[in-house]
Structure 1
């Protein structure tokens, strides 16, 4: 792939010459870590749930990781206009599926967020988030070309409608992530003071309403503030697992947390890493997430076109904030959010959502966004 001739104007050659190769290598490194960790946590999860094959989650992770890699590369090949079109289709279909699951979706742990497909579950909100953030970035950029149209209002309506479906599931964690991406895109595109004050007041009211009307939100906040008065077994066990790992870890397969917590292979995978691989690997993982996020945001913020600039900053923010939330929960810095670690935690929907997020972001930050897909379509 690295030996394309300069005269080669094929789609793949143009992609390879313009994509951020360091970013791409970092993402594939994350995927490799995810596969390695699935070998450590997967067998225990299979035994705990009752699968006869101890490598059920390992095979599942490998399959979805391959799908995620194809999706990541495939979307990164798109040009900004085509990324917008694909995001529009993904958002429309995902939005319909989110409405559908409120009536006919699979319910688990008091939430109705999934659709059962071929013996597995799919969470539509994972692909709706990046698609909506990209669309919002494009809508906000149109203010420079057509200043008299209500682009900001349309963007806010799409965000509010999606938030409404998320909160009806309910899924406060995904709502917080979507809000982070939405605000990042708004900030980069230039937001008026009236919108700043309006959104600020709205989010304060929303936070109060979530605390008042959602018992699980109130419980998690209260248990974080007053841990002695509530059951904080999950958080305490996760933190203790990282402490037991020390600097070098107990060794792959030697950890205990994966046997004690039902979500050790998903929400608390970082604690499994800490216990089995140690502090050095935990810090290295944080650095890797930080490099991807900061490099992406800086690259996107320098883009001359307002659409890729706002959308890509929002997408990289989605990725970075999700990683930060998961790690912060595992080390007891914030209340439990039930958030996966991108490309590391087990879960097909999470892997595909992360791949779509970074695939779109890479497509928007390529060095030659002017290449037209029309050249490659008969």
Structure 2
């Protein structure tokens, strides 16, 4: 007796959900859902140790239950956003960017300061980090402005995009948040390059970026401290990153086993910035490579689909969003492996945090919406080299 697979929707079904099911990239969706599931699973491994730092919490799985709530919210946001048209993506991105800028501007007055940085606003029992939502919104908005500039209809798209970037970065530096500033700037410049900027501009912007990093080094003492700890670990306290490195080494190939990790008890931010080391200790290299493989799949498959899109806005916006996910994952993993100084950057879909999970759901939802198969979406269009002759 044989059984055949019956899809959830018939191809003749013309309902919005059926159209979404047959046009969305189900491979990318499955990879994002798998990462979300891993994030919830690892929260149960990290929550009992994380609450040791907060004696006011009695439930050992306090963070796990909250993680499930945030993952559910991120999932709903991702699926809802993936139903949008490219025009809908632009509208939501503009509203998201404006909202994030307004809240970020108010943070010096109403923000909750943690570890010397005012990046969050309290909303009852929860806190919101607006910069997380500014990232995908700015990338989509910038791609839109660059595409408008390509049309040659007098829209100063490049100037508007750089103005939005400068305002966002300025508000980030006030907090201060150097990690998010570098991430947003790198992704923004990549989108600018993919939109068709001449290569001589890339060199000029690269030189300006290097000068900016040097300026940040002299302007912010905590950046100098982090670089000093990284390059001269023997002269300062590196307890956190040392314990994370030990946890990764102790995991070996298959890990110590579920709940058997011991190094996590000595890492203060184990459920957020250092969740990768928790998973590596308990589940070993197998889980580490699985997570890295899922991120690589999302980035490579997503970029491949984005580069085949016909519309310049959809192409650059989708590529920028996938790059944003990949760069943030690379930064977090590199910090855990002690390859770069600590940045306070979450691991997408895995780290505990409501703002991070919801923003990643929005990011992936935008990307899925832009790469859906629509009539004419993947017809041959102008190449990247052709578009380089459009922008000044």
Which of the five TM-score ranges fits, normalised by the shorter chain? over 0.9
Pairing of 1:323-334 with structure 2 (within 5 A): 323-334=329-340
Aligned match of 2:17 in 12, 27, 36?
Answer: 12
**How far apart, CA to CA, are the structure 2 residues paired with 1:341 and 1:230?**
26
Return the alpha-carbon distance in structure 1 between the equivalents of residues 228 and 153 of structure 2.
45
| CA displacement at 1:23 relative to structure 2 | 0.6
* Mapping 1:1-378, distance limit 5 Å: 2-50=7-55, 51-146=57-152, 148-193=154-199, 195-368=201-374
Contact 2:193/2:202 (<8 A) preserved: no
Secondary structure, counterpart of 2:122 in structure 1: strand
1:280 and 1:7 mapped to 2: Cα distance?
42
After superposing on structure 2, the runs of 4+ consecutive aligned residues of structure 1 that deviate more than 3 Å are none
Asked whether the equivalents of residues 64 and 351 of structure 1 are also in contact (C-alpha less than 8 Å), the reply is yes
CA distance in 1, matches of 2:275, 2:315: 32
- For 1:97 and 1:10, how far apart are their aligned partners in 2? 38
Structure 2, unpaired ranges of 5+ = 1-5, 378-392
Number of residue pairs the alignment of both structures matches? 371
Check conservation: 2:240, 2:266, Cα contact below 8 A: no
Unpaired stretches in structure 1, ≥5 consecutive residues: 372-378
Post-superposition CA distance 1:178-227 (Å, at most 9, x none): 11220221111111345324422321221011110111111111221222
Q: CA deviation at 1:368?
A: 0.9
Residues 40 and 236 of structure 1: is their aligned pair in 2 closer, same or farther, counting only changes over 3 Å? Answer: same
Deviation at 1:54, TM superposition (A): 1.1
User: Partners in 1 of 2:200 and 2:248 — Cα distance?
Assistant: 45
Q: Quick one: structure 1 residues 369 and 269, their matched pair in 2 at CA, closer, same or farther if it must change by over 3 Å?
A: farther
TM-score if structure 2 supplies the norm length? Answer: 0.92
Q: CA deviation at 1:276?
A: 0.6
Distance 1:35 1:52, change over 3 A: same
Preserved contact between residue 184 and residue 310 of structure 1 (Cα < 8 Å): no
Cα deviation, 1:164-189, whole Å, max 9, x if unaligned, reads 00011000111111112202211111
Distance in 2 (alpha carbons) for counterparts of 1:215 and 1:18: 49
